[in-house]
Amino acid sequence: MKFFVDTADIDDIKEMAATGLLDGVTTNPSLIAKSGRDFMEVTREICGLTDGPVSAEVVALDHPTMMKEAEVLRKIADNVCIKVPLTIDGLKTCKALTSDGTMVNVTLCFSANQALLAAKAGATFISPFVGRHDDNGFDGMELIEDIRLIYDNYAFETQILVASIRHATHVLQSAKIGADVATMPPAVIKSLFRHVLTDKGIEGFLADWAKTGQSIL
């Protein structure tokens, strides 16, 4: 499963990239706003930090203006992936862009039927929001299972990009179901490293090493 980081914080992206685990980046207008910086400038800098897809979202709601915004965004770098909402106009834009060879991430997916429509429109990625789904009394992981089944039934090439991930269990469950990508805040990626027995093991090794009075350097 690919790991994308969901942030517009340059320092966080650099830190994740240094681990060798980063396969791409997702952003949205809210994340860019938190950075307090120019949208185009931030997106261009992020694209230089990873060879993987960098999702940059249009803000228009009508197809013609989405296409105009996408034209500007995809000139930023070759690895820009245009992010569009799961609406009729969003899918019109998706179809037009992917037919032209541009990567498209269809976002704000909350049903398997929506995911089916996105795949038929040629989406590169579909972004089901599992955390928000859970918040509203639904089962986010059941949504991922349904999408995986449908996509496998018809050999759709659209990749399932699990979004709105809140904790490590979401990552584990997504991987077991067979999701293609998980996009996570930096804090969730860091939480995957942690385990109480790992911490205890390191403490024990260091204590035993200290008793020897030796030094490697």
Residues 6+ apart with CB under 8 A from 143: 110, 111, 112, 128, 130, 133
Residues 6+ apart with CB under 8 A from 151: 115, 119, 158, 160
Point out the catalytic residue in the list 83, 120, 176, 190.
Answer: 83
Token pair belonging to 141: 């992981």
The alpha-helical segments, DSSP class H, found in the chain are: 10-18, 29-35, 39-47, 63-73, 88-99, 112-120, 130-135, 140-154, 168-177, 186-191, 196-212
Q: Which of 50, 38, 43 is nearest to 14 (CA)?
A: 50
Backbone angles phi, psi at 192, to 5 degrees: -70, -25
95 is catalytic: no
Task: Return the C-alpha torsion angle 34, 37, 40, 43, nearest 10.
Answer: -60
Token pair belonging to 189: 């990626």
Residues labelled catalytic:
83
